[in-house]
Amino acid sequence: MEAVRALDVIRAAEDALAAGRTDEGFLSERWGLLPTEPPLTALPASHRAWDDLAGALPGHFRRTTARDALDGMPILDASPAALPDAFVWRAASLLSIFAHAYVRVRPDRPNGLPPSVERPWTEVCGRLHRDRVALTYDDLIACNWRLRDPSRPDRRQLDNLELLTPTVGNREERIFYLTQVEILALGAPMISAMARAQDAAARGDPRGLESQLLILQDTLERVTRSFLQIDANPYSDTYVDPVVWAKTVAPFAVQIRDDGHAVSGAAAPLFQLLDIFIGRTKYESRVGREARSLRPGFPPRLRALVAALEAISVPRFIAGAGSTALRGLWQSLLDGYVGREGFLATHRKKAFAYLELAFKVGRSVTTGGFTGVFEDQTWEVAHHELEQSRQERLGGGSEAITVGCPMARLRADVRGELTSPGMAHVVLDVEGAGVRYRPGDRLALVPESDPQLVERTLRALRADRAVRVRLDARWIATLAAQSEGRDARHDVPLVELLARGRIRPMTREVAKVLLGVSNIEALGRIVNARAEASWELWDLLELMGEAAFDTRVFWRADPWEPHAICKLVPPQDERLFSLASAMPAGEACASHAELLVTELVYETPAGPTSRRELRHGTASSFVRRLVDGAAPAAAGEGLPVRVVSAPRFRLPDDPGRPIVMIAGGGGISPFLSFIAARAAQPHPAPAWLFLSVRSAAHVALYRHELAAHIAAGWLAFHPVVTSGAATRTGASITSLLVEQARALLDLVHEPSGGGAGATFYACGAAGFAAAAVDGLERALAHALSASQAEHAAIAGARALIRRMIGVGRYQQDVFTSHRSEVTTGVTYDASEVALRNDDEHGYWMIIDGVVYDVTEFSHRHPGGRAIVLEHAGRDATRSYRMVEHHLDPEIEAMLGMYRLGTIRRLEFGSEWCVTVGPKGLTFVALADAFRAWVRMLHLVVEVENAVRHDFQIVHSVTVAGERPQDMTILKARMLFEAHERFIGHYLGSLTGAGLDELWSIAVGFAALGGDAHRLRAELDAIAGGDAARAATDAIARAWAWLIELGRVSPAERAGGLAEIRMLRPQLERIDREFLGALKRTIACAVAALERWERTTRAHAGAALVAALEEVVRSVAQLHVAVAAISTW
Amino acid sequence: MLVRQVMTANPIRIAPGASLHEAAEVFAESDASALMVAGGDGRLVGVLSEGDLIRAMLPDLEAIRGAGGSLLDALRVFIEHGAQLAERPITPYVITQPITVAPGDHVAQVATILMQRMIHRLPVVDDGILVGTVSRSDVCRAVLRARSTVQTSAAGE
């Protein structure tokens, strides 16, 4: 049988819709899976009761009375005789929302649904051919919107949309659902593009396929940017508060029946279609299974489209077509969808931030079906599942899914004209490689090591050029990947390994291995001082050789040994370079790509843990060799390249908006592409370029390059030459900006406020980027101080910057410099950092052993302030790695802007104690004992942060129409839940097995004769004592009171709620004072361990015991304080 | 009962620069599973364990694949690697910060470490100087004998 074409499925669906038949679902070229007409806003008069109740839902959520209202709703007939076909979609949407409202309005589960909902709901689901009675994506999203301005029916964008049937009606619900409507509208061209691409593949038309792949890629980028509107940054126009979202929006769509499906990300039909299109065949992860199991429940038209797309494989055609351009385009489509910076990765990172906070404020189940509580770290499980499902699309699970990197060659005919001392300008030929980029994008390439450095390393290894070494699995896989599978070698010449591997700067991991096998004192000093990054492999090896260590062991070792050379020298990572060129308008694929790179040269000083040596950056010296024609790779087979999209570093959508560019050194590179793109406009809007460089020659070079634009009057060029200390402190860029303060303030203000609404950009090394944002703040404060008092001007400037970042009008492209890698010598202890998690002490955090001050950064974090504060005072490495921030060189670089120093490395030697643990006598190494104490300290901090967020809900708008400070029954419920969660749950975590472990350690070190179970006995006595009972009784009375308040007269209710408002600060204070005291106590004990290190046993054991005795007293006081609250 | 009462004084030592071949000889002669690596000044440098050496000889999957991929290839690779290793220095295989006990520690503490860390023999160090070793059999012999002595004396009363 001939397969049905996807295009024919779309045509048939359009015909049915034109004839008024909607029961099989919506599908059209213009609107994709959205209804072609805006959804109906009312039912016939016979069903007005449903419309009325829908309108009253927010009030019922506020008073938690939705069940009473739905119980009292009349049972209406939803059969075709009573309700015409045209109204079925609206009826389905309302009834599905009613059903979920009935269940979700209160935490206790009802006994089934009332017949007023159950009967008609079953009827309409049948009329829409659903496989079960359930809330669908159509009900909640695709058919749940109206236009703000109906005279603009084509504008289905967030700013012209409102929810048709809101439940709580708050900002979070609006933005969260309506952004998804916008994505459906924006993504509509993807559906016809997939259908046409398939057609082109079927008739063997590579050119036709190319143009459809371009549409898919562009649309996907727009969809990704639209998705970013769900923004956790409070300064954004489309802020979705993670705490409010978690408590009011997220739980609503969780399935209410065992056989039901939640409306979750897996249900989003656009991505289901894209999965099929890219050839995903593996659906074994939980998210994958969920996605697949939803398909039979799709509306019939969508099911038909799924079947048609499954019938013909586009990737199979591309794999056989032998067109490098097609392969390049396919690869960039995949990158945009499943790549590390693609849509799915963006979605996963955002989901992680929202879910982590959500679970900490008490959400126990996600729409994806992940259940769990605080200690289970459910957000991590959900996150892994999402990652697994992304991986399923990447390799193995899909046919012909990776077709290899595009290859670039050096342009022989054109030389980079901006090449100058310290600056390398290279022009790469990517003709026919299917490469596309936008201004702001980056090019990733894998550099080769400097041949001189390779020679030195070879000498330090005491090896000659003939030596071959065997490879480990990672190297073998890398060689295969970089050659599209042609290179299957298991051994290579050592010289090649060193050329293609990372031999500088020294990483901590490798330094520790070297220390482990040699135990050389000088090496130990370097590792202890965290000074390894000041070294390269060759000179550390020389150091070892000087200490009579035979360095040949490394290349003689077998590849599976930890000290084997193939492990010490891992494959080189790819490096990102901002593209300095812009693609000519109207061209589908680029013919060339330009890079402008500052050469990184620095000297490490002579000292106890470093030696005097001139160092060259790996990547920049590689680019310099490219320019000089000294890198053979780029000539022959070519150089594998990858375009890395930068959705957060983009020219404004409106070409009429001015831009302000602030560049440090090579940071001018992306701005050359911005300027080129703007110059192609008929009348370019004003652009400002502030540039800080080290030499006047560079200024002359750029002035010459940009002369035409400067002369045309639209580009203002403000260069400054810096040297020495001024470069490091950013003094020059600051004064340059302050000189233009007045003009900059006008550029910052929105047009509605009389300004120009410019977008600002900063690009440079981490230190420069920090100086640029501070300099701009100073300039704005300076301008504001003309009309305001000094402190008001400073605060005003700071607020302007935060706001600009929040709305995406201050964008940064930051790269690493050697300085951020080399130690500053300042160290901190965990016990100090733990105290930095509130407004009074600022906000610090630890990532990979480095301490950062994130106080101001928390206002600038694209992922929002809440998630940063949530990790303050503790070690955030795990979460940081979870969202793959450590793989993102730009984020790593940006972090450098906030670096304070490192965590001091402590020396516990191999000291130990033997304790009485749960399994009898237990050996505990002192280093492990320290970790256990720090773990407890971080747990206390984590709970402290979570509790602060948990209580914050009472200062938020939970239901439309209330003020943040209003107390409502819903908020009172959340308040009691927060407190109950604290007493019932967090307190249990804090005083559970972890505390027993600490006690056994303390006794083991300090008091061999101490009772191993005394602490537990005392805690048990407190938990079973009168005060704890009184506290529990008080909470039970509070719940009864709240239920009573729902039933009394409005006046009485108002009085009761006023009392609860007074209660809130008392509750919050008691809980938080307890946590504060607990943290200080544990921090003191940790500080004792940090002070005495390996001599803890002799000096600090008693302090540990005393700390835990203090914890017991705090717990006892907590119960007394709770029971004593008079209002109960 | 304290370590100094049960330990083996004058433990078998090996010099830090010795070859794996030499180490193998000492292992065979002494029937010990771990050798104490000590410098000429008597300070403990580290411990060399038989297990770590055998682990170094065992090829991983990539090596087996590289040698042909069959079980027979794997067995052959094991033998070949052993021969290659023989002349290499013991240095990279020495555990440089081993757990040590002091002469004044209690035998029960030693027993806990031995079992929990799956160690057979611990170095006894006094102020950095290697003064002995204490092994599983040292502990068994000493403790079980002590118990029978107590019983005998109790019966004799």
Task: Output the 3-class SS for B96-122.
Answer: CCCCCECCCCEHHHHHHHHHHCCCCEE
Instruction: Report which secondary-structure segment, H or E, holds B13.
Output: strand B13-14
CB A536 within 8 A of CB A408: no
pLDDT at A633 (0 to 100): 56
Q: Which DSSP helix (H) or strand (E) runs through B55? A: helix B50-57
Which residue in chain A is spatially nearest to B77 when comparing CA positions?
A558
Encode A156-174: b = buried (16+ Cβ within 10 Å), e = exposed: bbbebbebbbbbbbbbbbb
Is residue B110's pLDDT more than 90? yes
Comparing alpha-carbon positions, the chain B residue that sits nearest to A907 is: B97
pLDDT for B68:
84
Range A55-59, long-range pairs (CB < 8 A, 24+ positions): A57/A97, A57/A101, A57/A165, A57/A166, A57/A167, A57/A169, A58/A166, A58/A167, A58/A168, A58/A169, A58/A959, A58/A960, A58/A961, A59/A959, A59/A961
Option in A470, A518, A922 nearest B112 (CB): A922
Residues of chain A in contact with residue B109, where contact means CB-CB under 8 angstroms, are 914, 921, 923
CB atoms A558 and B45 under 8 Å: no
Which of A549, A553, A921 is the closest to B88 by Cβ?
A: A553
* Residue numbers in B near A910 (CB within 8 A): 97-100
Instruction: Write the burial class of residue A606 (CB in 10 Å: 0-12 exposed, 13-18 middle, 19+ buried).
Output: exposed
Q: What is the pLDDT of residues B1-16, one digit of tens each?
A: 999 999 999 888 899 8
The neighbour count for residue B69, using CB atoms within 10 Å, is 11
Q: Which helix (H) or strand (E) holds A674?
A: helix A669-679
**How many H-runs (helices) and E-runs (strands) does chain B carry?**
7, 6
Q: Which of A308, A310, A299 is nearest to A275 (CA)?
A: A310
* Cβ contacts of A1034-1037, under 8 Å, gap ≥ 24: A1034/A1122, A1034/A1123, A1034/A1125, A1034/A1128, A1035/A976, A1035/A979, A1035/A980, A1035/A983, A1035/A1122, A1037/A1128
Q: What one-character DSSP code corresponds to residue A1047?
A: T
Q: What is the pLDDT of residue A402?
A: 53
Chain B interface, best mutation among A912, A913, A928, by max B CB count within 10 A: A912
Token representation of residue A438: 């936008």
CA angle B9, B13, B16 (to 5 degrees): 145
Query: What's the CA gap between A665 and A655, in Å, rounded?
Result: 26
Segment B86-106, tens digit of pLDDT: 888 898 889 988 999 999 999
CA angle A1099, A1101, A1105 (to 5 degrees): 145
Residues of chain A contacting B89 with CB distance shorter than 8 Å: 550, 553
pLDDT at A538: 97
Residues of chain A positioned with their CB less than 8 A from the CB of B66: 470, 490-491
Q: Which of B62, B84, B89 sits opposite A550 (nearest CB)?
A: B89
Q: Do A473 and B112 touch (CB under 8 A)?
A: no
**What is the amino acid identity at position A1099?**
H
pTM score: 0.86
Residues 93-152 of B with CB under 8 A from A: 94, 96-100, 106, 108-109, 111-113, 116-117
Q: How confident is the model at residue B149 (pLDDT cuts 50, 70, 90)?
A: low
HEC string for A249-310: HHHHHCCCCCCCCCCCHHHCHHHHHHHHHHCECCCCCHHHHHHHHHHHHCCHHHHHHHHHHH
Give Rg (Cα) of chain A: 32
Q: Which two tokens stand for residue A505?
A: 């700067």
The band of B155, judged by pLDDT with boundaries at 50, 70 and 90, is very low
What pLDDT score was predicted for residue B146? Answer: 58
Residues in chain B: 157
Report how far residue B100's alpha carbon sits from residue A782's, in angstroms, rounded to the nearest whole number.
Answer: 64
Show residues of chain A in contact with B104, CB under 8 Å.
none
A1024-1070 tens-digit pLDDT? 999 999 888 888 888 888 888 877 888 999 999 999 988 888 888 99
Instruction: Write the residue in A549, A912, A922 that is nearest to B91 by C-beta.
Output: A549
Q: How many angstroms separate the CA atoms of A844 and A853, rounded? A: 4
pLDDT at B54: 87
- Give helix then strand counts, H and E, for chain A: 48, 24
Q: Do B62 and A471 touch (CB under 8 A)?
A: yes
In angstroms, the CA A307 to CA A891 distance is: 41
In angstroms, what separates the C-alpha of A509 from chain B's closest C-alpha?
A: 16
Confidence of residue B153 (pLDDT cuts 50, 70, 90): very low
Cβ-Cβ contacts under 8 Å between A and B: the total is 72
Maximum separation of any 2 CA atoms in chain A, in Å = 96
SS3 A574: coil
Reported in sequence order, the residue ranges of A848-929 that DSSP labels E, i.e. its strands, are 850-853, 899-903, 912-917, 920-925
Q: Where are the alpha helices (DSSP H) in A423-551?
A: 451-460, 473-482, 494-500, 508-518, 521-528, 537-546
Residue in A811, A770, A801 with CA at minimum distance from that of residue A664: A770
Q: Do A921 and B59 touch (CB under 8 A)?
A: no
What is the side-by-side strand order in the sheet with B8-9? Answer: B8-9, B129-135, B121-126
Out of B61, B66, B91, name the one closest to residue A470 (CB): B66
Give the nearest partner residue to B89 out of A476, A553, A561, using CB atoms.
A553
Give the residue among A92, A89, A78, A73 at the shortest CA–CA distance from A133.
A92
Tell me how close the Cα of B56 comes to any Cα of chain A, in angstroms. 7
With an 8 Å Cβ cutoff, are B63 and A556 in contact? no
CA pair distance B64, A471, nearest whole angstrom: 12
Identify the three-state secondary structure at position A148.
coil
Question: Taking CB atoms and an 8 Å cutoff, what residues of chain A touch B65?
Answer: 490
Q: Which residues pair with A902 in a beta bridge?
A: A827, A850
How far apart, in Å, are the Cα atoms of A412 and each of A592, A634, A776, B46? 12, 11, 42, 59
On whether the CB atoms of residues A265 and A290 are closer than 8 A, the answer is no
Residue with the bigger pLDDT between A912 and B155: it is: A912
Minimal CA separation from B157 to chain A, in Å: 32
- pLDDT score recorded for residue A170: 96
- What are A's interface residues with B at a Cβ cutoff of 8 A? 470-473, 476, 490-491, 516-519, 549-550, 553, 556-561, 563, 909-910, 912, 914, 921-923, 925
CB–CB of A351/A265 below 8 Å?
yes
Contact A18, A63 (CB under 8 A): no
Give the burial string for B5-37 (b: 16+ CB within 10 Å, else e).
ebbeeebbbbebebebebbbeebeeeebebbbb
Q: Do A923 and B65 touch (CB under 8 A)?
A: no
Asked if B63 and A558 come within 8 Å (Cβ–Cβ), the reply is: yes
How near does any CA of chain A get to the CA of B144, in Å? 19
A781, A841, A769: which is closest to A805 by C-alpha?
A769
List per-block mean pLDDT (blocks of 10 residues) for chain A, which spans 1128 residues. Answer: 82 95 96 95 97 96 92 96 96 98 90 96 96 93 96 91 97 96 96 96 94 95 92 93 91 82 72 91 82 88 95 89 87 87 85 77 53 54 69 57 68 76 88 90 92 96 94 88 79 95 93 90 89 93 92 90 94 90 88 89 87 90 83 67 88 95 94 96 96 91 95 96 70 91 96 94 90 95 94 95 93 73 76 96 94 92 87 92 78 84 89 88 93 94 90 92 93 90 86 92 81 91 92 86 84 91 88 94 96 88 92 94 76
**Residue A768: partners with Cβ closer than 8 Å, 6 or more residues away:** A664, A665, A667, A692, A730, A733, A762
Q: How far apart are CA A25 and CA A156, in angstroms?
A: 19
* Cross-chain Cβ contact B62/A559 below 8 Å: yes
Question: What region does A1018 belong to: left with phi over 0, alpha with psi -120 to 50, or beta?
Answer: alpha
Reported as type and span, the H/E element at residue A615 is strand A613-616
Q: Which pLDDT value is given to residue B104?
A: 94
List the single residue in B with minimal CA-CA distance to A922. Answer: B112
Interface contact A553-B91, CB threshold 8 A: yes
